[in-house]
Amino acid sequence: MNKRDKHKKGYLFLLVAIYQFINNTINASSSWTETNRDGSPEFRLIEPFIWEYSSALSILLLLPFMVVFWRKTPLDISKIKTHLVKHLLASLLFSILHVAIMVWLRELSYWLMNSNYDFGPIAREFIYEYRKDVWGYVFFFCMYQLYEFVYSRLKGEANLISQEVEPNQVQKAPEHLLVKKLDREFLVKVVEIEWMEAAGNYVNLHSGGRIYPLRSTLADLCERVKERGFCRTHRSNAVNINAIDHISYLPSGDGEVHLKSGKVVNLSRRYKEDFKQQFE
């Protein structure tokens, strides 16, 4: 895996952290400016920064869990109503956790200053916070989708190239991938793919240290390329048996497939027998 793929999540997190820091610093400065207009501020200078940064930090703590949820529920226009309900519930949970962590951080900060923090009436304040959190959830979700789209365009997206099939002729396994990256196209041999990994509506194809996302399910893709030596080892993984260096087994009955590249892929008990038959 190259550095860009390895640190993909870190880049996304960094972008959000920078945005949060700039946005909340501006908000805190604006609050202080407004209350200090007549020369008799209602609160200390540090307080609006505590309010804003506690909110920002709680969002950053929740962001990894949000990304995991979004990855596991990729957009599907045919199920738009189901997705709306899921994201509505997710936004509610996000807001509850955001407020809980934020208030705890504020109470801790005020305690360290030998003071007390008053959040106010819970029901009223939560409704106020939820209105903002819903739009915050939508913003971060759109930002995530945009990031994934731009990233996939820069990284390249693969399609299998199928040979023309005569009537009543069995279609053979494709030999190449057509990888589209910006305005260029590349050909990659299927037999050079070392292993495959399920990722939502995509399958990540690992070849020569690079990753090529292909829109498919792992089950369908394995069925299409099994003639090229591919076999499932796990519900989320499949390997090219020609890329295997050795196999080790664990006391639990599961195993590990060690590839020549140094990558170790899980071998679950569910697929172990079918996997062994590939070598008989």
Homologous superfamily of domain range 157-279: LytTr DNA-binding domain (2.40.50.1020)
3-state helix, strand, coil in the chain (%, to 5): 55, 20, 25
For a pLDDT cut of 90, what percent of the chain falls above it?
42
* 213 CB burial (10 A radius; 0-12, 13-18, 19+): buried
- Strands (E) in the chain, as ranges, are 157-161, 176-181, 184-189, 195-199, 202-207, 210-215, 230-234, 237-240, 244-249, 255-259, 264-267
Domain chopping of the chain, boundaries:
3-155, 157-279
Which pair of tokens denotes residue 45? 């200078």
Tens of pLDDT, residues 57-86: 999 999 999 988 988 887 777 778 888 999
Tens of pLDDT, residues 242-252: 999 999 988 88
pLDDT at 114: 93
What mean pLDDT is reported for the chain?
84
